[in-house]
Amino acid sequence: MRVLLLASPVVQPDFDRIARIPDLGLVSLAAAIDDLCDVHVADLHGIKDPDEFVRRHANRYDLIGLTAMSFQYARALELARIAKDAGAEVVIGGYHPTLFYREIGSSSDLMLIDYIVRGEGERTFRELVQALIRGSQLDDVPGLSYRFGSEMKHNPPRALLNPEEIEMPNRDARLIRDGFYAFDVPVDSVETSRGCTQGCKFCSINSMYGRSFRKFEIKRVIEDIQDAEEHGAGSIFFPDDNITLDVKRLEAICDAIIDAGLTHLRYKTQASASGIASSERLVKKMGEAGFDGVFLGVESASKRNLQFFGKGRMSDHAERAVRYLHDNDIIVSTGLIGGNPDDTAEDMWANFHLARQLKVDFPIFYINTPYPKTPMREELERMGLITNNDFRFYDGLHANVRTKHLSAEEVQYITWEMNARYYNWEWFKYNKVKRLYPRWFAREALRLAPIYAKRKLELLLRIKSRRDMFREDLARGELCKGVA
């Protein structure tokens, strides 16, 4: 049996210029079945023509797997059609299929999908492949939905795996190995834990794993880092759902990195502001280990909005967290969410001013998004504030909601303006990116300078308005560019 696993080609263009990271989940799935069959992984966001790639390769495989978040799902169906036309069976997994499996199973999508692996995939996918090889029944595979005639049957869910059951990723299974980077350094991912015990109302993680937090042995984490480096990585991204839930453990990981002589690599992760702010010692150790980038979930300048998110006092910790990180030469990115039910334009701009006050290197001005099956979506539906149910635009950067005071277009435009105005001369003076990644910074400056100069001239000559430029960027999906 031959299996091909495909990562979605759909990315956000602005983020893609900063980091393009190969899919970790699929090489973990490959490791779970590589003793049973021939398996390959293709990160389609690393190539120019994904459709042509799939057409060229699909007829060599018996089973083709796709993974998708909500904004990637429609594109996954297009690739599923190519796979089916080539004679392969199709299995799909990831957040959206896991949360929407019943809706998928009762829709016309059923004709393109043979199997859905729900939730954590390694064990379920292995048992699916075993059953297909043996020709045995599928009704005793927990976590699996499968097509049966004109309908889809849904087996009971699977219990979460013990970390010891999860094989090390099989990076040798990758067919596409170039073109992945963080700034200008080749990058790969290594996970140290799975799950989160917090209850943020906008998040899908609890629906995937429940409120759980499972940790891999630190020895395995170090071996995984070494394997990633052997496969060409000079930078490591830790995609853990909440790596700072156990601050002492993250400090122990830093110690292990130092002891293993791996401080020459560049490490990046996402973390809670409260976790980082809780320990100056931790952040100092992160700097010593080689961390040079952290994404902080600050979420909002408004305590009212933080309460609405189920986030507590996140912004109270933000100033200390950013100071600790900057004191240790670590680039800070923050997520700040606007477009919340009671937001006025002034409330949205408060996020901008908070980012400027904190001297954040890369603020990401997200827009509140009613992700499927989340408590947030239920509340926004009750309020009548959801304006769009086309999941292709559920990427956190498109406005799919209005507020009680602003239309969806006004929410989108204010967010665009915040991005447009943030990256000015003041930002140029304080950001750490230009020093830590001078070649990347110079290259981006040379790429953007003529674009901004042309736009400024068009504004001066009244050839175009800012609204015209906003609509151009919206049509291209480049929502973080604008014009200063």
Cβ neighbours, 10 Å, residue 302: 21
Q: Assess contact for 386 and 400: CB atoms under 8 A.
A: yes
3-state SS, one letter per residue, for 316-383: HHHHHHHHHHHHCCCEEEEEEEECCCCCCHHHHHHHHHHHHHHCCCEEEEEECCCCCCCHHHHHHHHH
* Displacement of CA 88 from its chain's centroid (Å): 28
Q: Assess contact for 188 and 22: CB atoms under 8 A.
A: yes
**At a CB cut-off of 8 Å and minimum separation 6, what does 426 contact?**
356
Residue 20 phi/psi, 5° resolution?
Answer: -125, 110
Bridge partners of 4? 40, 64
pTM of the predicted model as reported, rounded to 2 decimal places: 0.93
pLDDT one digit per residue (tens) for the chain, 484 residues = 999 999 999 988 778 889 999 999 999 999 999 999 999 999 999 999 999 999 999 999 999 999 999 999 999 999 999 999 999 999 999 999 999 999 999 999 999 999 999 999 999 999 999 999 999 999 999 999 999 988 999 999 999 999 999 999 999 999 999 999 999 999 999 999 998 887 777 777 777 777 889 999 999 999 999 999 999 999 999 999 999 999 999 999 999 999 999 999 999 999 999 999 999 999 999 999 999 999 998 877 667 766 766 665 555 688 999 999 999 999 999 988 899 999 999 999 999 999 999 999 999 999 999 999 888 899 999 999 999 999 999 999 999 999 999 999 999 999 999 988 998 888 989 999 999 999 999 999 898 889 889 999 999 999 999 999 999 999 988 777 666 5
In 23-100, where does DSSP find H-type helix?
24-33, 50-58, 73-85, 95-99
Residue at token pair 């059951």: 165
DSSP one-letter string for 172-198: GGBS--SS-EETTEEEEE--SEE-B--
- Listed in order, strand segments (DSSP E) in 81-164 are 89-93, 115-117, 144-148, 151-154
Distance CA 422, CA 430 (A): 12
In 215-344, where does DSSP find H-type helix?
218-230, 247-259, 273-277, 280-289, 303-309, 314-327
CATH fold label, 180-436: TIM Barrel (3.20.20)
CATH fold label, 2-163: Rossmann fold (3.40.50)
DSSP one-letter string for 400-466: -B--SSS-HHHHHHHHHHHHHHHSSHHHHHH-SHHHHSHHHHHHHHHHHHHHHHHHHHHHHTTSS-H
Domain regions of the chain by residue span = 2-163, 180-436
Residue at token pair 């509340």: 379
Beta-strand pair 144-148/151-154: antiparallel
Would you give the DSSP letter of residue 142?
A: T
Distance CA 217, CA 253 (A): 10
